[in-house]
Amino acid sequence: MTAVSTPTARHVVFYLVGREERLLGRHPSVTEVPARLRSVAQALSDLGQRVAFVEGAASTDDPGRAITCEVLIVIPMGHVGPGKTSSARITARWRILWVDRVDGVCNLDPADFDYVYTTWAHQRPALLAWSGLASDRVLTTGLGASGPPSETSQTLSRRDPYHVLLLAGSEPALPLAVEILRGLHEHDARFSVQTLEELGEVFADAGVLVVTRSAADGHADVVIRARQAGVVVVAPEGGTASELVFPEYDGVLVEEDSASPAFPKACVTAVLRLRDDPELAERFRARAMTEPLSWGAVAREWLAHWRRLDAPATAAQRPPRVSVVMAVWNEAHYVEQAVESILSQTVWDLELVVVNDGSTDDTGELLRRFRDSRLKVLDQDNAGLWAALNRGLREVRGDLVARMDGDDITHPRRLQTGRSSAGCLASASSFTRPSSCDGRRSTGSVGTGITRPRTTISS
């Protein structure tokens, strides 16, 4: 992999543990390194970093060759057995663990790592508990999309709303496909349902992809490729699926779990709705195809993080890219999840200003439990929502501001998506540029827009 020679180039080592394979060296073959690792490594290389892959030692008696680097990224590859995680002979300024499965860390020592990068936001609480690290040291990367969309706007017109694909994981695919097809045929005999395995991950002209919970967890890359190809995804709420799809913005999430007998009926309802409203289906397709989280975006987020680590004093003085304002009053039942959904965003350079507007329950105590330098809590006597929001606006430092309610949970890519379209006045962005604002909530699917710091809002 060719690196661009620049004064700021870092030596970045991906240290793969949990595999019985040889030392990979500087030029691993395409069959030895998973596609997502190759993609993010190539993106880092394109940004001027010197990237290498190294296989973990087979045992503590064979620690491998000595390596010196600036950033060490340890990646569990499946089960990591005892005695296979030693990186004692690797000297690194920053040691980072990057995981997409919580069970992959069971034999690792959290004391070995300065930061944890997690692919999925919903796994962050478990990783915080395992690592004992502060909240701002366990960060969500998201799963990047490899390459530009593979379909054009002309291809969208060829998507057949009557052709449905099913991607099942541990759930029995054929009985589920039969149930969905039977329900669809009660309305229109033109519908067909195929399991994705039948097509070998070729989406053909399919208009809808139904994904089960276990399939979303185990085949997230396939779901992203389907979205890039313009196939509308229907999946159950929760877990990985809820991070792959913006509900009612670029896909459909149903309340019924894929293990529930009601799941086929819920999928039938969703497919019929997309058939009956082609404009809605096309909006979902177009938005999903402009997936904002490329591996290039992930790599840039990493690089910006490392720059802040190199100069912490300067980083502390520099305003964050995004500020979020939250006003809360007696939100003890919800505020922890609301705050967590902001701190687990795929945009890391942010601040969250929470104004505790005279709460009389445990809201203030719950807020003070968070160990995160990005969170600022302001206590005041009860003055009402708009007074609390205006105080928060006076305190924020970012050029872009989003509003968050204390009883909401937001998508982990909300700020990434909003920031990518912040200059578009007609977008469903979470942000507004300097302007007046009457403070009323937006109905945009991505989030709620508020105004620039020091601009008063009123009811």
306 found inside a domain: no
458 found inside a domain: no
Do 360 and 252 fall into the same domain? no
What is the pLDDT, as a whole number, of residue 313?
83
Do 334 and 445 fall into the same domain? yes
The pair of structure tokens assigned to 280 is 């809605």
Do 134 and 106 fall into the same domain? yes
Order of strands, edge to edge, in the sheet holding 160-167? 192-195, 160-167, 206-211, 232-236, 252-254
Number of H helices, E strands in the chain: 16, 16
Do 163 and 122 fall into the same domain? no
List, in order, residues 6 or more apart from 130 with CB less than 8 Å away: 102, 105, 110
Do 112 and 78 fall into the same domain? yes
DSSP state, 56?
Answer: P
85 found inside a domain: yes
Order of strands, edge to edge, in the sheet holding 138-140? 50-55, 11-17, 67-76, 90-99, 115-118, 138-140
- Closest-CA residue to 459 (of 380, 358, 379, 390): 390
Question: Quick one: 6 exposed, middle or buried, by C-beta within 10 A (0-12, 13-18, 19+)?
Answer: exposed
CB 41 within 8 A of CB 82: no
Buried b / exposed e along 140-165 (16+ C-beta atoms within 10 A): bbbbbbbeebebeeeebeebebbbbb
The pair of structure tokens assigned to 38 is 């190759």
DSSP state, 57?
Answer: P
Do 161 and 132 fall into the same domain? no
Last residue of a domain, one of 107, 140, 173: 140
What is the pLDDT, as a whole number, of residue 88?
58
Last residue of a domain, one of 83, 110, 140: 140
Do 97 and 26 fall into the same domain? yes
As a whole number of angstroms, the distance between CA 401 and CA 323 comes to 5
pTM of the model: 0.84
Do 159 and 280 fall into the same domain? yes
233 found inside a domain: yes
As a whole number of angstroms, the distance between CA 211 and CA 263 comes to 11
CB 403 within 8 A of CB 455: no
Last residue of a domain, one of 289, 310, 339: 289
311 found inside a domain: no
What is the pLDDT, as a whole number, of residue 417?
76
6 found inside a domain: no
As a whole number of angstroms, the distance between CA 27 and CA 25 comes to 6
- Closest-CA residue to 350 (of 377, 368, 371, 375): 375
Task: Tell me the HSE value of 430 on the side-chain side, using a 13 A CA sphere.
Answer: 25
As a whole number of angstroms, the distance between CA 293 and CA 413 comes to 8
4 found inside a domain: no
CB 61 within 8 A of CB 82: no
381 found inside a domain: yes
Do 65 and 169 fall into the same domain? no
Orientation angle between helical segments 173-185 and 263-276, nearest 10 degrees? 50
CATH of the domain at 252: 3.40.50.2000
DSSP state, 158?
Answer: T
What is the pLDDT, as a whole number, of residue 34?
79
As a whole number of angstroms, the distance between CA 287 and CA 246 comes to 10
- Closest-CA residue to 73 (of 127, 37, 39): 37
As a whole number of angstroms, the distance between CA 181 and CA 161 comes to 13
CB 235 within 8 A of CB 245: yes
How do the pLDDT tens digits run along the chain, 459 residues long?
Answer: 444 344 478 999 999 987 544 344 444 443 457 788 999 999 999 999 999 998 765 444 445 567 899 999 999 986 665 554 555 578 999 999 999 888 878 889 999 999 999 999 999 999 999 999 999 999 999 998 765 555 444 455 579 999 999 999 888 999 999 999 999 999 999 999 999 875 555 788 999 999 999 999 989 989 998 998 999 999 999 999 999 999 999 999 999 999 999 999 999 999 999 999 999 999 999 999 887 678 998 999 999 999 999 988 888 889 999 999 999 999 999 999 999 999 999 999 999 999 999 999 999 999 999 999 999 999 999 999 999 999 999 999 998 999 999 999 999 999 987 765 543 322 223 333 333 333 333 323 334 343 444 444 443
Total tally of structural domains belonging to the chain: 3
Phi, psi of 230 (to 5 degrees): 90, 20
Domain that holds residue 234: 153-289
Do 281 and 202 fall into the same domain? yes
List, in order, residues 6 or more apart from 19 with CB less than 8 Å away: 55, 56, 77, 78
What is the pLDDT, as a whole number, of residue 315?
81
CATH of the domain at 404: 3.90.550.10
CB 138 within 8 A of CB 116: yes
Cα 401 off chain centre by: 20
As a whole number of angstroms, the distance between CA 55 and CA 65 comes to 11
What is the pLDDT, as a whole number, of residue 379?
97
Do 160 and 221 fall into the same domain? yes
DSSP state, 223?
Answer: H
Do 166 and 86 fall into the same domain? no
As a whole number of angstroms, the distance between CA 256 and CA 262 comes to 6
